[in-house]
Homo-oligomer: A and B are copies of this chain.
Amino acid sequence: MNKQSIKVACSNCNLRELCMPVGLSDHDLTKLDELVATRRKVKRGTNLFNNGDKFTSLYAIRTGFFKTALATEDGRDQVTGFQMAGEIIGLDGIVNDHHTCDAIALEDAEVCVMPFDRIEEISREVTALQTHVHKIMSREIVREHGVMLLLGSMRAEERVAAFLLNLVQRLHARGFSQSELVLRMTREEIGSYLGLKLETVSRTFSKFVEEGIVEVKQRHLRILNTQALQNLVNNQASCSNG
């Protein structure tokens, strides 16, 4: 078990504005500090939770990078998302009291464990938290709508372009570069998420390199022409620069 008990508090966490409501009174902040039971470290390659596990808590990612994936008995496999610092995982477990997907750390990670009964309890008292929880769930629904659009109507190049833009945008919101990123996942995992085979992902990267849109060195990727990617996603004629 990769569990550690450390007394922690949201009130002095530098990620608070990413995963918690802002503008709280001191009084409410104090209550919020009862939210996180413990922190838990998750080694790269190990699971935070598994399909079938009893649902008890939501997890706020402090550091590291996760994927969530469905694996069916008949061998189908689908990555349903990639999650990074400040994002919440575990929402799938609420409806049936057990998880319906796996959450796997793609690099050494640490999460804040938030027992869900405690979330519900504090939500009843702190309106801002109640609203926040609703927004987090709604955001996930909207995100998945976007993935459905991608999977249902985009060609391979468009999917990869949308994927890269989304990733770099989220990283930028966390203070990283707008143009450089390190892919924490394999081509196969990208492919699974995008409904493509790993070879197609690889070929698409190569094509983007040929066209001068990105530089790729293994998992290190630099975007040279954001606008070109944007145009692909927006179904528009190419544009020399942006």
- A residues near B (Cβ < 8 Å) are 70, 72-78, 80, 91-96, 100-101, 120, 123-125, 127, 130-131, 133-142, 144-145, 147-149, 151-154, 192-195, 234-236
CB within 8 Å for A142 and B192 given contacts A120-B127, A148-B147, A235-B74: no
Q: Are B145 and A148 in contact (CB under 8 A)?
A: no
- Chain B residues with CB under 8 A of A142: 92, 95-96, 100
* Additional A-B contacts beyond A70-B148, A80-B148 (9; CB < 8 A): A72-B149, A74-B236, A78-B145, A78-B149, A94-B135, A95-B136, A95-B142, A144-B144, A151-B151
Q: Which residues of B contact A120 (CB under 8 A)?
A: 127, 130-131, 134
Measured between beta carbons, the chain B residues less than 8 angstroms from A92 are 138, 141-142, 145
Identical chains in the assembly:
2
In contact, B145 and A100 (Cβ under 8 angstroms): yes
Q: Check A101 against B137 for contact (C-beta < 8 Å).
A: no
- In the bound assembly, the distance between CA atoms of A134 and B73 in angstroms comes to 28
Report chain B residues within 8 Å CB of A133. 134
B152 touches A192 (CB 8 A): yes
Provide the residues of chain B in CB contact with A153, threshold 8 Å.
Answer: 76-78, 192, 195
